[in-house]
Amino acid sequence: MGVLLEMKGIQKSFYGNEVLHAVNFTLEAGSVHALMGENGAGKSTLMNILIGIHRRDGGTIAIDGQEVEIESPAVAQKMGIAMIHQELSSIVEMSVAENIFLGREPVKYGLIDYRRMYKQTEELLETLHITLDPRTKMGRLRVADQQLVEIAKAVSQNARILIMDEPTSSITDREVANLYEIIRNLKERGTGIVYISHKMDEVYTITDKITILRDGESIATWNTQEATNDMVVKAMVGRELTEQYPRREPQIGEPILELKGLTKKGQFEDISFTLRKGEILGLVGLVGAGRTETMQSLFGLTKAESGEIYIKGEKVSLNKPTDAISHGIAYVTEDRKGEGLVLPMSIAHNTTLPSMKELSNKVFIKSAEEKSRTEQILSELKVKMASPKLAVKNLSGGNQQKVVLAKWMLKEPDIIIFDEPTRGIDVGAKAEIYKLMNEFVAKGKAIIMISSEMPEAMGMSDRILVLSNHRISGELRQEEFSQDSIMTMAMRYM
């Protein structure tokens, strides 16, 4: 296959800080090329240069062997470069067809020719084997389908270079299979696809080549078949990670939390289990199985219709987060930016937010104590930052997650609920989070961990509960863990 895109010696600095040093990247027509690297490695900057959001400071970009200047996103679009962002940008109040033809609607007598628009959309979706009604409002579609519409839109704009940024981060396994089909279809049409992902299994399934970026440099490019997991991880972090899931000898103690028949119709039904001191309990299931909903109810964010909760043998009612927190429960939510952090607030103030009562006397905040406690916990968790006074939004994903952890650790809870603890953070930071989780339970405390990443669930949990269609469909002890048995249980009530 011919070379479609060649980026050579790309350099870029922001405010005196060089973030890309002579990066090379070559994409062939009809291939899928994984771009991997830790957060902050330069993937986004490189792609933003390609789609005309940033201008490069040095190096050359050639398409079909012709050197080009990509001055703006409009120019990129004309050259057939499109990007499917992680956070989709469709207009939810408009139909599928209107979204696809936004800004270039077919016109007849000065009015939008809806008939032609719908017909063309239908044809387009058909060639891509996407079964959606062009008249459906975008907002009514699932995220996965919205993503497919964006892909269709890119195709309709004759995109030959398609960048996909973590396309599977919020879609179910079945939808992933469908996405792969579409990607293979695009490959056959000669489209070159840049596939940004943290997930190894995906990269092995769908990509032809892998390029690794680290600290703004292109470290290596391999054919995917030749690259081993270890090679990839080593290249990404610059050192060997001997233990991805650090071992520990679990010291399981007495029960600390008990749920009896917790039910909210259509969300979770008859959920009963016991959590013990020193235990990491994995909660797995397909997206929509009711894992997060159950935990939200345990944390007092939503109310269960029936069922009982016991903490240390005592029956409790948890109607609001304050109740749960005062009973020693902490919740590291799935959506770090939406529910975990107050982004414009400083790192320090985010850290102490749940502990303000302990850090205040009757009227005022005890500033000195707040400062020393904050500095202590942030350094314990090795949060990398210029100053705790900086707004937390300036940190990388991994460091933000550590701040979320720090704010709960400061509160000294007995139970932490982790909802997808390592989503969207890089390998190095992952290992550190795992280590912190282990240290936490080693102190006789307990963790409930929701995870959609099978290796993580199996690597970290002492016991796994599987949810299927809002109910518990099985429980596995560590020696029984296997991908097969978990999947079978996850599908049981579907």
Partner 1 sequence: MKKEITGEESAAMKAQRRKNFIARYGSLIALVLMVIIISLIKPRFVSFINLRNMFRLASINGLLAVGMTFVCLTGGIDLSVGAVMGCAGMYSAYFAQESMGQPAIVAVLVGVAMGLVIGIFNGVCVAYLKVPAFVGTLGSMSIAKSLTYLLTDAKPIPKLTESFKFIGGGMVGGVLPIPIIIFAVILAVCFLLLYKTRYGRYVFAVGGNANAARVSGINTKRIIASVYVLSGVLSALAGVITSARVTSGVTNTGEGYETDAIAMVVIGGTSLAGGKGRLWGTIVGIMLMICLTNGLDMLGVGAYYQMMVKGFVVILAVMLDSLSSD
Q: Measured between alpha carbons, how far is 42 from 236 in angstroms, rounded to an integer?
A: 12
The one among 48, 360, 438, 485 contacting partner 1 by CB under 8 A: 360
Q: At what angle do helices 143-156 and 173-188 cross, to 10 degrees?
A: 10
Regarding 363 and contact with partner 1 (CB under 8 A), the answer is: yes
- Closest CB to partner 1 among residues 352, 422: 352
By DSSP bridging, strand 32-36 and strand 81-84 are: unpaired
**Residue 349 CB, nearest distance to partner 1 (Å)?**
6
Residue with tokens 């944390």: 299
- Closest CB to partner 1 among residues 353, 454: 353
Instruction: Tokens for 333, please give them.
Output: 């939510």
Regarding 73 and contact with partner 1 (CB under 8 A), the answer is: no
The one among 25, 268, 331, 418 contacting partner 1 by CB under 8 A: 331
Regarding 260 and contact with partner 1 (CB under 8 A), the answer is: no
DSSP string spanning 298-333? HTTSS--SEEEEEETTEEE---SHHHHHHTTEEEE-
Q: Measured between alpha carbons, how far is 12 from 21 in angstroms, rounded to an integer?
A: 7
298 touches 425 (CB < 8 A): no
Residue 210, helix vs strand vs coil: strand
Q: Measured between alpha carbons, how far is 402 from 382 in angstroms, rounded to an integer?
A: 8
Long-range pairs for 481-485: beta carbons < 8 A, 24 or more residues apart: 482/458, 483/454, 483/458
Among left, alpha and beta (phi > 0; psi -120 to 50; other), residue 382 is left
Regarding 321 and contact with partner 1 (CB under 8 A), the answer is: yes
The one among 9, 250, 354, 424 contacting partner 1 by CB under 8 A: 354
Regarding 105 and contact with partner 1 (CB under 8 A), the answer is: no
Residues 293-312, one symbol each (x = binds partner 1 by CB under 8 A, - = not), give ------x-x-----------
Residue with tokens 């997991």: 229
Options 227-235, 238-246, 260-268, 314-322: segment touching partner 1 (CB under 8 A): 314-322
Residues 198-237, one symbol each (x = binds partner 1 by CB under 8 A, - = not), give -----------------x----------------------
283 touches 448 (CB < 8 A): yes
Regarding 353 and contact with partner 1 (CB under 8 A), the answer is: yes
Dihedral pair phi/psi, residue 159, rounded to 5°: -70, 130
- Closest CB to partner 1 among residues 41, 186: 41
Options 69-77, 176-184, 364-372, 423-431: segment touching partner 1 (CB under 8 A): 364-372
**Residue 342 CB, nearest distance to partner 1 (Å)?**
4
Q: In Å, how far from its chain's centre is CA 231?
A: 23
Regarding 356 and contact with partner 1 (CB under 8 A), the answer is: yes
Which 115-134 residues touch partner 1, going by CB under 8 A?
none
Cα–Cα–Cα angle for 273, 277, 278, nearest 5°? 115
Which 365-384 residues touch partner 1, going by CB under 8 A?
365, 367
Regarding 333 and contact with partner 1 (CB under 8 A), the answer is: yes
**Residue 301 CB, nearest distance to partner 1 (Å)?**
7
The one among 91, 342, 442, 494 contacting partner 1 by CB under 8 A: 342
- Closest CB to partner 1 among residues 79, 237: 237
Q: Note the residues at the interface with partner 1 (CB under 8 A).
A: 13, 15-18, 21, 215, 299, 301, 320-322, 325, 331, 333, 338-345, 349, 352-354, 356-357, 359-360, 363-365, 367, 407
